[in-house]
Structure formats: C-alpha cells, structure tokens
Structure 1
C-alpha cells in the first residue's frame, strides 16, 4: 500500500464550475460541478512531487427523490476520462433515482494532471513526445501513471467524499474501469458498500497484444451470420461469403489492383490497412453499435462496383473516413478532456500487453494477429 491508505490531502476539495461547458454536451435535469485534490505522484514518496486528480459531480436538480447515496463511475480505456460517460450517466441512472453521480478523472487525463506530449496537451506520439515525457517525468514518474496508483487516487476521492456526505457510496465500472475497480477492491476491500463490474476485463487472462486476434474472431462470427439471413446471403455466392470476399478485397488492396478503388476512389488513398482499421473500429465500437451492420453491404458493393455501388460507397467513405481519406485515428484529434493516447499506451504497454506468465510476443506473431 506504500502508505496510500493513510494519505490525506492537504487541500480541501472546493466544488466549483468545471469550465468545460463549451466542450461537453448539455445534460438535462442535472447540475454539474467539479473539484480537485492534490495527491502524490508516487504514494511511496508522499512528500515529493504532487499531481492533481479531478472529479465531476452530477446532482439531480429536483430534490423530490433526493437521497444521500452516491455512485462513482469508472470509465474505460485505459486513457478515457470520466467525461466520456457523461451523456450515458443520466440515461442509465435517471435523476428520479435521486443518486449523486461522481465521474473521477483517471490520473493523466481530463481535468486531472495531463499526461501529454507537450505543454499544450498534444497526444501525437512520436520520438519527440517520448523524449519530452521522459524529460518531464522520468521513468519512475511515468511508472506512477498506473492502475495501482489510480486505485489509490480513487480511495482518496471516496474517503474525502465520505467525510462531507453521509450515505452509501457504491462504484460502477465498465471495461478497463473493471480492472481499475478490481485493483481498488483488492487494496481497499471495505471502503465502499457495493461495487458493480460491467463488461469485465479479467486481469489474469486479458492481453491487449491479442486485441486484433479477438476482434477478428468476433468479426468472422458476425459476418458468418449472413448465411442465415436471406436479406444478406442472396448477394453472396455460396463459395464466397462475406468473410472470404473481404479477404480477397484486402489482398487486392495490398497489391494495388482493387478495381473499384483504383477506378473511382483513388483520391481517398484507401489501402488494405485503412479498410481493415475502419472495419475493426466499426466492429469494436460500443457507441455506434449498429454501424457494423453495413459491413457486408460495403464488402459486396466494393466487389460488384456498378454505378449505384459507386454512389453508395462514396457516401460511406466520406461519412466514415472523410473527404480526404484520412483514417488516421491518432488521438491528437481527440480533445484532451476526453482521451489520452499517452496514458492509454503507457498503461497498456506496462501492464496489459502480455498474457499470463508470458515474457514477450515477437513481432511476426503480432503482425499475423493483426493481419487476421
């Protein structure tokens, strides 16, 4: 625990305007305010470098059903702030429940101390970025932007909140947040009254190096359902279902001889890697769940490529990739309030990359999983 369980911030948490109204969506029937606490960068060295951890509070406007119960919500990533859950919080937990919602920002993101590539919040990870990070934080400092340190931060926030508000405190988590919560509960098993893990990540079995492999398995099963629906399978030969046709298209793209793309869409610079990345994002997105249902149609139209297909594909490409064909998902385009690629990669590469009892994964294996 490194003394973390006894750490008490010197500053009080003053609730005030979050100053993000120009970025966040409007949330009906809730007021929003924020507060910040100063905590050690390294809990083993509590008197040295300090950082800021922030949390946002959503309180129902109506006090008709008000309770003293509070729900902390831990979001996914790693590398996503509490703000990414803002628009869903009021849907899952309507204000009529009378619950106060707390959205903590993981250290390194949101209104907490930022882990970024320069003094202006850039998330464009380059050699210069890595030099900047090691110069500013040092290797030991970067190691403190971890799951365990975030668990200690959460304990500080919860204990502070318990000191000013009576009532039950519970924690709801999803995706990476379940790993964050699991670490917290292992260190502080008695601090909250209840905890919920949604979309659980198993800390023993999870390995982010296998993410492409797992996505491929799910995508293959998803495309396989086409054969069970006449609305879909009527467009594909028996010996060339969507997953086989897609493999052919990806090979054609890699060899720069995909007829439809070369004849009509060269301005979008669509490569096999870009199409694979686009479909992967559509398959794995939890915020645009139904977008994936058009994937078989896109595969079919790229293969057939008549004039109607060209019109439809042009609309698809421009609404997903953009008019210039930019599929770069580099998070330098993500507002730093919501996401941090630096924080995400720091935790992934340090703590989540390898499987259980695994020392390394070679590059050839990673590339094969990716190409799958």
Structure 2
C-alpha cells in the first residue's frame, strides 16, 4: 500500500537580539570527557566527541519565585556538548538541541547531535541540556513519599491517591513549584548561553515541548542568538484562546489529524479498494465503534479487554484510544486500515490475527528503555496541568463531547481527575465515564507564525513525517541510520547563520513516503 502521510513541520524564525543580563550567582562544574551515547540501547559509545558539565543555578530566579529559607537555594543543570574539531571552537557557531516532553531528558537527542555534527563537517559546537526537573539535572521526584516507584499502584505514572502526599513533600522541599516552570528552564538556558559559551552566533532548536521552551527563550531575548527552529510546535503564545495549544484539547486535534489520515486511504489504490464507498475507512470504523457499544461482548469487541491497562474502559473507548496511539507512531499507523478491516469482518481467522496483534501491541506499548530512568512524570504533570491545560477546565460534558466526537482519540477526559487533583480546582471536576502530526497539529505552527513579529520567519511543512522532523523525516531510499531530511534542513539553516534570505528557495531532498 502506497499511503503517503502528511505530518510534521518546522517553523524557523530568524531574530537578532541583544539584552542586558540580570546578575546572580552560578557556577560551572566541568568540562569532562564523556561518552557520546549515554545509554547502550541507543548506540555505541566508542566515540568521545562529547564533554559534560553541570551548572549550579538558582532555585528561584528574580521575578519568578522566592526561595524559602528551608530550601536548598540551588539546582544543578546538566549540559552536554560536542566542540568543533574542524576549525576553532572559540569562534564556531553554537547549536542547541532541546528535548520535548515535558519531563524527558536530552539523551534521546544524542544520535541527532551526532548526525548534525557530521552533516556540518564538525565545524560547529553542538549543545544540549536536561531541563531542570529531568535526567541528570536536579530531578523532580517524591523520594520521601515514595510515589511513582515500580511497586506503586500505577508504577511510574502517579496514581490519584498519591498526589496529595507527593504535593506536600514537594512543597516542603522546594516551596513554590514555579521554580520548575518553563520560564525557569528557559532562564537556565539564557544564563548558560550568556555565561558559558563563546559568544558567537547561536541557533536554538526545540522539538515538541522543546518548542515551548524555545518560545519562552525568545521572550527572554538572549544575546547572540540569531535564529530559532521550532519543530512540532506545541505553543502559540499571543494567539487567541481558540487557537492556543492546550493538552486538554488533544482529542479535537487527534480528530482533525485522524480525518486527514483517513482521507489519504481514499487516495491510495490498495487501501481504497478494501473500503469501497459508501463504507470508506472512517465510515467502517464508525460502524465498528457503534457495534462495540451495542454488543461489547462480541468476539472482536471482547478482544479490547486484552489491551494493556484498558480493561476497565468501554470496548469502543479502548479501540479509539488504541488507534489514536498508533496514529502517533511512524510504523504502527500503517496498521490502522488492516486492523479496522479485520475488526469489521471479524471472522474466526480475523480474531486469531487480531489477538496476535494485541499481544504485539501490548509488548510494544509496555516496552521500556534505559532513557525511562531519566523521565520525570511529576514534571510532566506539573507543567501539563499548570501551563498546558485550559484553566478552568471545561465542563465534563464538554470534555466528553470532545472525546466522543472523534474516531481516534487520546481520551483527555480520562485525565480530568488528575488535573483536578494537581490544580485543586473543583468547579468543573467530576468522575469521568506535521500535517498528520496528531500530537502537535500543523495549525499551531501557523498560529505561532502569525503571532511572531517581523518578516524574518518561515514555515516548512514535511509531508511524510511523524512527530519530530529532526528524527522522523526519513530520506526516500534511506534507512534509520541515514541522516534525515530534518537534519539536512537544520544543517542548511545553521550554515546560513539564521539568515533566511535566499535560503527557502532551495530544493529539499525527497523524504520517504509512508507505505
């Protein structure tokens, strides 16, 4: 099946800047030679281009929060770099790569750092950091309350009953948790760029939540930064509320992207031949969901009870959320049409195949990597519910309406109780019953582009990528080890030192179609 998928994007903004610096104490512990790959499951660590350090930064920056007398007044910020080996690193262009999340460390970006380093012939300095609360930086965790352990009710994900004790511990440890806000993390970055880099041209790249961090950095106006790259835009500061990126609206976003994905099936000869009008792919799935609601104990509906961590939900909800999760994965989304086809037909042979599919899906979705030890679910929840959720949350009726109006979904209404527990809001809380980038839809990039002042900005849209163009825009005929379209385009932008004049007229390499 030759199904082309329209997916991720990158908004690139060129901005000259100069700013005065607020004076406060920091200290650098480094640099030390360290392995290019932190974890063995991400690649060989034979090379040692990298150096590592930590910066001791204020727990609270002026204007953000005040450090309580009982709290440790500093936090550690981990930074990794690869210095130019071809040319003088003291005058080389600096590139920063910032991870998404929130809550994830920078270690998954290490392969992209190496790819970009090679693409630029080792003529640049490449940096990354674990934003505060994650990884090797001061880690946001509830050690005293012992939540999110492997023996906890929900394992690494915080359980509703754990939130209260964890919140009390964090308050006793840090006081005001705005010390772990996006603005605090962006101020760490501005501080490091100002104090501990070479003062040369600097370009900052962020992916997913990293774009929110980059956008906050733009507001802080750091000296020397001449360009920004926002890949998978998860922010739209300055946009009206109806155009702003909110995690609480993700079911709406998944519905939009799901419709685009389904439309691609009708354009593909093989896919459309299995879903003939009027029973095209979305109509077929809608019929399956309706059938599951009517008869949740039917042979294929009952299979949904075998999906990991979903046995307590209605079978139709489980199917929609499972397919929604598949939509975000570069390979699994290709299986959505055949899964829907077999669920509709539901013969004995289909039940056997679908059961095997669910077993594989459970294994995949439950798989862990060494990176997981650096992920902070508490930071994810803190930032999600304080900075990325509608406040106050819409009524439960509205949340349910959003969820149930889409064929592919995340089930945002299922997180309403967590929002209520983290925010302490009671008014709307009750017990809940790339252009195909479902996680950060294309519209948010357009909205942010519209709100940015000036004309030194450009939007680049990739037609064949899942979430994160730097990692997932594979070249046609390439493999997982070939530098991606995203790497090549960012490298080209870096070579221009953030100057967009004439840059956008170049022909980009053909990315691999989804099949």
Indicate the RMSD between aligned Cα atoms, in angstroms: 3.2
> Residue deviations 1:323-362, cap 9 Å, x none?
9xxx679x9997131x3222112111111112xxx64411
- 1:129, CA displacement in angstroms? 4.2
- 1:4, CA displacement in angstroms? 7.7
- 1:80, CA displacement in angstroms? 2.0
1:131 to 165, 170, 179: 165
Q: When the two structures are superposed, what TM-score results if normalisation uses the length of structure 1?
A: 0.82
Q: Is the counterpart of residue 152 in structure 1 residue 187 in structure 2? A: yes
Spell out the pairing of 1:222-301 with structure 2 (5 A cutoff). 222-254=261-293, 255-262=295-302, 267-268=306-307, 271-284=315-328, 288-301=329-342
CA distance in 2, matches of 1:333, 1:313: 30
Q: When the two structures are superposed, what TM-score results if normalisation uses the length of structure 2?
A: 0.61
The SS at the match of 1:159 is helix
Check conservation: 1:249, 1:258, Cα contact below 8 A: no
Q: Is the counterpart of residue 335 in structure 1 residue 362 in structure 2? A: no
Aligned to 1:112: 137
Q: Which runs of 5+ in 1 are unaligned?
A: none
CA distance in 2, matches of 1:98, 1:214: 40
Shift in alpha-carbon separation, 1:113–1:129, aligned structure 2, 3 A: farther
Q: Is the counterpart of residue 349 in structure 1 residue 393 in structure 2? A: no
Shift in alpha-carbon separation, 1:196–1:224, aligned structure 2, 3 A: closer
Check conservation: 2:79, 2:128, Cα contact below 8 A: yes
Check conservation: 1:5, 1:155, Cα contact below 8 A: no
> Residue deviations 1:159-180, cap 9 Å, x none?
2322xx4533321122221221
CA distance in 2, matches of 1:171, 1:340: 23
The SS at the match of 1:319 is helix
Check conservation: 2:326, 2:332, Cα contact below 8 A: yes
Aligned to 1:33: 51
CA distance in 2, matches of 1:278, 1:93: 37
Spell out the pairing of 1:215-226 with structure 2 (5 A cutoff). 215-226=254-265
Shift in alpha-carbon separation, 1:112–1:244, aligned structure 2, 3 A: same
Residue correspondences, number? 354
Check conservation: 1:4, 1:152, Cα contact below 8 A: no
Check conservation: 2:142, 2:170, Cα contact below 8 A: no
Q: Is the counterpart of residue 43 in structure 1 residue 50 in structure 2? A: no
Aligned to 1:143: 178
2:400 to 347, 367, 371: 367
Aligned to 1:206: 245
Of Structure 1 and Structure 2, the greater helix share is in 1
CA distance in 1, matches of 2:184, 2:22: 11
CA distance in 2, matches of 1:191, 1:69: 10
CA distance in 2, matches of 1:27, 1:89: 14
CA distance in 2, matches of 1:136, 1:23: 32
CA distance in 2, matches of 1:124, 1:17: 31
Aligned to 1:79: 103
CA distance in 2, matches of 1:289, 1:140: 41
Aligned to 2:207: 174
The SS at the match of 1:193 is strand
Check conservation: 1:74, 1:173, Cα contact below 8 A: yes
Q: Which runs of 5+ in 2 are unaligned?
A: 1-19, 150-155, 407-515
Shift in alpha-carbon separation, 1:124–1:227, aligned structure 2, 3 A: closer
CA distance in 2, matches of 1:278, 1:59: 43
- 1:290, CA displacement in angstroms? 3.6
